[in-house]
Amino acid sequence: MSEAHVQSYYTAFTRYDVDDSGYLDLDEARSVLYDLGFQPQTRDEKIEVTEILCDQDVEGLQHYNFNAFIEMVKTIRERLRQMQFHHAMLLLRGQTAMVMGSWIGKRC
């Protein structure tokens, strides 16, 4: 992750840390992630993001310091990328099968 990314994440983190506690609560963390463009689209993506949020809440207090937030962003970014790539490949395979099926069935 580049220094520029870390700085932009820190700016977003502090914008939502309105009480200057050094922590974001669960709702604030979700809002920051949404504003940063990490919006889960599918049911599976939403479940995955929720699990990552829970995994990063090691103390069970539903709040996150900046270091935990950065780890959460890295994990969510990578996992959503993997899930979206997998979904795109499934769609591509389905489209290829449909095209091949219609091509195979054609006669001269």
Considering only residues 37 and 102, tell me which one the structure prediction assigns the higher pLDDT: 37
Rounded to two decimals, the pTM is: 0.75
For the chain, what is the domain count? 1
Residue 85 domain flag = yes
Residue 80 domain flag = yes
CATH of the domain at 85: 1.10.238.10
Q: How confident is the model at residue 95 (pLDDT cuts 50, 70, 90)?
A: low
Mean pLDDT of 27-44: 90
Residue 108 domain flag = no
> Is the model's pLDDT at 100 over the cut of 50?
no
Residue 70 domain flag = yes
Q: How confident is the model at residue 96 (pLDDT cuts 50, 70, 90)?
A: low
CA distance 8 to 12: 6
CA distances from residue 4 to 7, 8, 22, 89, 103 in whole angstroms, order as listed: 5, 6, 20, 31, 49
Range of the domain at 11: 3-103
